[in-house]
Amino acid sequence: MQLNRRSFVARGAVAGAASATLAAPAIVSAQSTITWRMTSAYPKGSPFYMDGPGSATDLAKRVEAMSGGRLRIQVFGAGELVPAFEGFDAVRAGTVEMNHANAYFWTGKTFAAQYFTAVPFGMNFQGINGWLYDGGGQELWNEVYAPFGMIAMPCGNTGVQMTGWFKKEINSVADLKGLKMRIPGLAGKVYASMGVDVKVLPGGEIFPALERGVIDAAEFVGPFQDRRLGLHKAAKFYYTTGWHEAATVSELLINKAAWDKLPRDLQAIVSNAAAACNVIGEAWCQRANSDAMEDLIKNHRVVAKPLPDPVIKALRTETEKVLAEAVAKDPLVKKVHDSYFSFKAKFDRWSEISEEAYHVKVRG
Ligand code: CA
């Protein structure tokens, strides 16, 4: 930094001596432009993830504007530079500096990553942000990624997701047995232990599979994203209980060596742009989902309702078993799990007498 400042002053002095008009280009050249590359698990053009308020491209625009063009982030959709789920390895290797996706895609590398996206029966948007920003979650996220030479931060959130689309009604736990369902991740494990025949399909393959009856049910995101895939044309019953993903965090994954080399003001710009996208992306989802759900119910005769209580109870019991197994296997998972759930216990008690009291007794 000292060297840079001296050479900047020297160049400025020379330019100033020669002519006042030459001083400006000297200042520009002293401010070098850094170009980073960011991959994504989502295809180019995906609303919320790649395009629109709070998306990956929105993050890049904000960083460029705030830094006066000193930090440019080139954004690549899934498959453009690396396949959808290879962003973790690309950032780890330093092939790219950043990846935009969800931490739970990396549970095969480190199971604890699950807690930084969504845990079944976990916290909502307010709770997860409380834990991440101010309850030790952010520090644990970086601790989990330290062995991989990476850091991460929240950069978007879908809010509550929907249980998904079913061709037939679910009236009891028995109705789940033998059901062929598209559902990835930990929720898939929970369903599998309850007799569901779990299928993991990429987003683009869900509609044809559901329409042709290759699967009987499918989970994707929520009203806006699900309608975009046309899932309402393939199944009539839309179960709404977001037991599996109460607030799904988008992850900005960053190569630690690249981050450490970034000037502190640019680090602050990236962190602040990510926090802005976290809120702005979630706000977009609330608006887009309330519009889409109204359209699905009014214009497409979709039957939207919560899962029956005994089914939710059984899902909770299975989730607790699956999480207990993961905690027993790995001390780091235990550390993250204990932090997450002790925060949640306090948050739930507070939420009950604040937000929930408002929703139940005041809002009407
Ligand atoms: Ca989902």
Distance in Å, CA 85 to ligand 1 centroid: 15
With a CB cutoff of 8 Å and minimum separation 6, the contacts of 51 are: 45, 57, 58
State pLDDT tens for residues 307-356: 999 999 999 999 999 999 999 999 999 999 999 999 999 999 999 999 99
What's the pTM? 0.89
pLDDT value at residue 8: 43
Average pLDDT, rounded, for the chain: 92
pLDDT value at residue 360: 85
Domains belonging to the chain, first-starting first, are 32-158+249-287 (3.40.190.170)
Distance in Å, CA 84 to ligand 1 centroid: 16
Contact 60, 155 (CB under 8 A): no
C-alpha closest to that of 9 among 1, 346, 265? 1
With a cut of 70, say whether residue 22 has pLDDT above it: no
Distance in Å, CA 354 to ligand 1 centroid: 28
Distance in Å, CA 282 to ligand 1 centroid: 15
Q: Please state, in angstroms and as integers, the Cα–Cα distance from residue 119 to each residue in 1, 85, 145, 160, 219, following that order.
A: 43, 20, 18, 12, 15
Distance in Å, CA 203 to ligand 1 centroid: 10
Buried b (16+ CB within 10 A) or exposed e, 284-300: bbeebbeebbeebeeee
Distance in Å, CA 247 to ligand 1 centroid: 10
State pLDDT tens for residues 169-221: 999 999 999 999 999 889 999 999 999 999 988 888 999 999 999 999 999 99
Distance in Å, CA 289 to ligand 1 centroid: 14
Distance in Å, CA 30 to ligand 1 centroid: 46
Q: State how far the Cα of 163 lies from the Cα of 183, in Å rounded to an integer.
A: 9
Contact 183, 191 (CB under 8 A): yes
Distance in Å, CA 222 to ligand 1 centroid: 8
pLDDT tier for residue 300 given thresholds of 50, 70 and 90:
very high
pLDDT value at residue 7: 44
Distance in Å, CA 89 to ligand 1 centroid: 22
Q: State how far the Cα of 159 lies from the Cα of 72, in Å rounded to an integer.
A: 29
Pairing of strands 180-182, 217-218: parallel
With a cut of 50, say whether residue 304 has pLDDT above it: yes
Distance in Å, CA 165 to ligand 1 centroid: 12
State pLDDT tens for residues 142-177: 999 999 999 999 999 999 999 999 999 999 999 999
Distance in Å, CA 183 to ligand 1 centroid: 7
Distance in Å, CA 204 to ligand 1 centroid: 14
Distance in Å, CA 39 to ligand 1 centroid: 20
State pLDDT tens for residues 234-253: 999 999 999 999 999 999 99
Distance in Å, CA 184 to ligand 1 centroid: 8
309-329 vs 185-192: helix crossing angle, rounded to 10: 110
State pLDDT tens for residues 68-121: 999 999 999 999 999 989 999 999 999 999 999 999 999 999 999 999 999 999
Q: State how far the Cα of 203 lies from the Cα of 213, in Å rounded to an integer.
A: 16
Q: State how far the Cα of 116 lies from the Cα of 151, in Å rounded to an integer.
A: 12
Strand order in the sheet with 303-305: 197-199, 180-182, 217-218, 164-166, 237-239, 303-305
Distance in Å, CA 316 to ligand 1 centroid: 17
With a CB cutoff of 8 Å and minimum separation 6, the contacts of 139 are: none
Distance in Å, CA 35 to ligand 1 centroid: 32
With a CB cutoff of 8 Å and minimum separation 6, the contacts of 53 are: 280, 281, 283, 284
Distance in Å, CA 40 to ligand 1 centroid: 16
Distance in Å, CA 248 to ligand 1 centroid: 8
309-329 vs 331-353: helix crossing angle, rounded to 10: 140
Distance in Å, CA 231 to ligand 1 centroid: 13
C-alpha closest to that of 164 among 84, 229, 249, 101? 229
Distance in Å, CA 245 to ligand 1 centroid: 7
Q: State how far the Cα of 335 lies from the Cα of 330, in Å rounded to an integer.
A: 9
Distance in Å, CA 23 to ligand 1 centroid: 54
Q: State how far the Cα of 153 lies from the Cα of 279, in Å rounded to an integer.
A: 13
pLDDT tier for residue 12 given thresholds of 50, 70 and 90:
very low
Distance in Å, CA 110 to ligand 1 centroid: 19
State the CB neighbour count (10 A cutoff) for residue 74. Answer: 15
Distance in Å, CA 128 to ligand 1 centroid: 16
- pLDDT above 90 covers a percentage of the chain that reads 87
254 membership: H or E segment, kind and range: strand 249-255
With a cut of 60, say whether residue 29 has pLDDT above it: no
With a cut of 50, say whether residue 20 has pLDDT above it: no
The dihedrals phi and psi of 44, each to the nearest 5 degrees, come to: -50, 135
Burial class of 350 by CB neighbour count within 10 A (0 to 12, 13 to 18, 19+): middle
Distance in Å, CA 296 to ligand 1 centroid: 18
C-alpha dihedral sign at 214, 216, 217, 223: positive
Q: State how far the Cα of 30 lies from the Cα of 60, in Å rounded to an integer.
A: 22
